[in-house]
């Protein structure tokens, strides 16, 4: 899809995506600063991954459910959760801070991939009750090696549950690169083995991620069953403030990805189409 998606996307959607991306990056910077001040225990930054975060939230209807991982605070906030409450767990509290039912956002999940079977269960139950609800579950590339990932995708396909799986392939599971995680040609290929569609998308192209997710959500809502989406992106910061990424990757790789920055990509498109000026209006 690439920038083709942005070229044909509705201008209002592009501006909304852009506004959320910019706010998201600022939020990441602020939360990281709070860890340095000792006011937040830990923060897994999604800088560089904002397009996936924001598109995930905006592809859903209000009645749908989001099942995030610990790195998905931006998606949680973009869905309407109070930005301070969204950080409760990361402050070291025992509870999640926000009411999951208010905005239909499950707690940020720290145990890898456990949110996936939960999403399938909710989606399946909604279908049995005749509720027109879709669940979107987010997971990292490392999380795809968990048994829960397998069980969730298998059951989702067997039951034709209205669920969308979004894998943010950001290159690493802490220090473990994708090449040591899987021998599959891509993570999207795994969908074939479960009997569901698999889609591969540029995870830094917000319009493309939004389009692919929206298609999958529509497909699920229409009774078409689950979809596995792999969004290829990059974790620009360290795993968390407790990690030193210079021990397992070089600056050159990080710099290369910064040239493919999600905010810069969308800014270029919006400016080119006269939809954004210097004042951000
Ligand atoms: C079940 C389980 N095993 C191990 C961990 C420790 N752990 C925390 S984050 C992480 C790496 C996850 O990488 P990935 O799924 O690619 O997501 P990312 O952090 O890159 O967003 C690991 C192994 C955990 N949280 N849960």
Residue 12: CATH number of its domain: 3.40.50.970
166 lines ligand 1 (CB under 6 A): no
* Residue 278 resides in a domain: no
Q: What is the pLDDT of residue 4?
A: 86
Tens-digit pLDDT profile for residues 108-160: 999 999 999 999 999 999 999 999 999 999 999 999 999 999 999 999 999 99
48 lines ligand 1 (CB under 6 A): no
Rounded to the nearest angstrom, the gap between the alpha carbon of residue 13 and the centroid of all alpha carbons in its chain is 18
Per DSSP bridges, beta strands 176-177 and 172-173 are antiparallel
Residue found by looking up tokens 């067997």 in the block: 158
What confidence category does residue 1 fall into, taking pLDDT thresholds of 50, 70 and 90? very low
Q: Ligand 1 center to residue 13 CA distance, Å?
A: 32
The yes-or-no answer on residue 248 being catalytic is yes
* Residue 190 resides in a domain: yes
Q: What is the pLDDT of residue 7?
A: 85
Domain count, the chain: 1
* Residue 137 resides in a domain: yes
Q: Averaged over 18-22, what is the pLDDT? A: 97
The number of the ligand 1 atom at minimal distance from the alpha carbon of 49 is 21
* Residue 280 resides in a domain: no
Strands (E), the chain: 65-67, 135-140, 163-169, 172-173, 176-177, 198-202, 227-232
* Residue 281 resides in a domain: no
Q: Which residues contact 213 (CB under 8 A, 6 or more apart)?
A: 55, 56, 59, 136, 164, 166, 229
Residue found by looking up tokens 């974790």 in the block: 235
d(CA 114, CA 139): 9
* Residue 277 resides in a domain: no
Tens-digit pLDDT profile for residues 174-209: 999 999 999 999 999 999 999 999 999 999 999 999
Domain that holds residue 242: 4-272
- Sort residue 130 into left (φ over 0), alpha (ψ -120 to 50) or beta: left
170 lines ligand 1 (CB under 6 A): yes
Q: Ligand 1 center to residue 174 CA distance, Å?
A: 7
What confidence category does residue 2 fall into, taking pLDDT thresholds of 50, 70 and 90? very low
Q: What is the pLDDT of residue 6?
A: 85
Q: Cβ(136)–Cβ(60) under 8 Å? A: yes
Tens-digit pLDDT profile for residues 50-105: 999 999 999 999 999 999 999 999 999 999 999 999 999 999 999 999 999 999 99
Per-state percent for the chain, helix, strand, coil, to nearest 5: 50, 10, 40
Angle at 185 between CA 7 and CA 183, to 5 degrees: 140
């Amino acid at each position: 899809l690439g920038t083709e998606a942005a070229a044909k996307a509705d201008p209002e959607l592009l501006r909304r995506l852009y506004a959320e991306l910019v706010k998201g990056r600022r939020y990441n910077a602020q939360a990281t600063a709070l860890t340095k001040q000792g006011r937040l225990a830990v923060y897994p930054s999604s800088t560089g991954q904002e397009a996936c975060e924001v598109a995930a939230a905006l592809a859903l209807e209000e009645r749908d459910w989001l099942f995030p991982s610990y790195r998905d605070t931006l998606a949680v906030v973009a869905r309407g959760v109070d930005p301070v409450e969204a950080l409760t767990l990361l402050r070291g509290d025992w509870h999640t801070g926000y009411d999951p039912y208010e905005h239909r956002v499950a707690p940020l999940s720290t145990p890898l991939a456990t949110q996936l079977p939960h999403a399938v269960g909710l989606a399946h139950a909604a279908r049995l009750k005749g509720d027109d609800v879709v669940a979107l579950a987010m997971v990292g590339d490392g999380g795809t090696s968990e048994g829960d990932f397998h069980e969730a995708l298998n059951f989702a396909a067997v039951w034709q549950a209205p669920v969308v799986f979004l894998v943010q392939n950001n290159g690493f599971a802490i220090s473990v690169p994708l090449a040591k995680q899987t021998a599959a040609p891509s993570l999207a290929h795994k969908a074939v083995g479960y009997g569901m569609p698999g889609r591969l998308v540029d995870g830094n192209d917000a319009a493309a991620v939004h389009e692919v997710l929206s298609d999958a959500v529509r497909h699920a809502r229409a009774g078409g069953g689950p979809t596995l989406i792999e969004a290829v992106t990059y974790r620009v910061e360290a795993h968390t403030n407790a990690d030193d990424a210079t021990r397992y990757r070089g600056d050159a790789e990080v710099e290369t990805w910064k040239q493919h920055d999600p905010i810069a990509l969308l800014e270029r498109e919006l400016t080119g189409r006269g939809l954004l000026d210097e004042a951000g209006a």
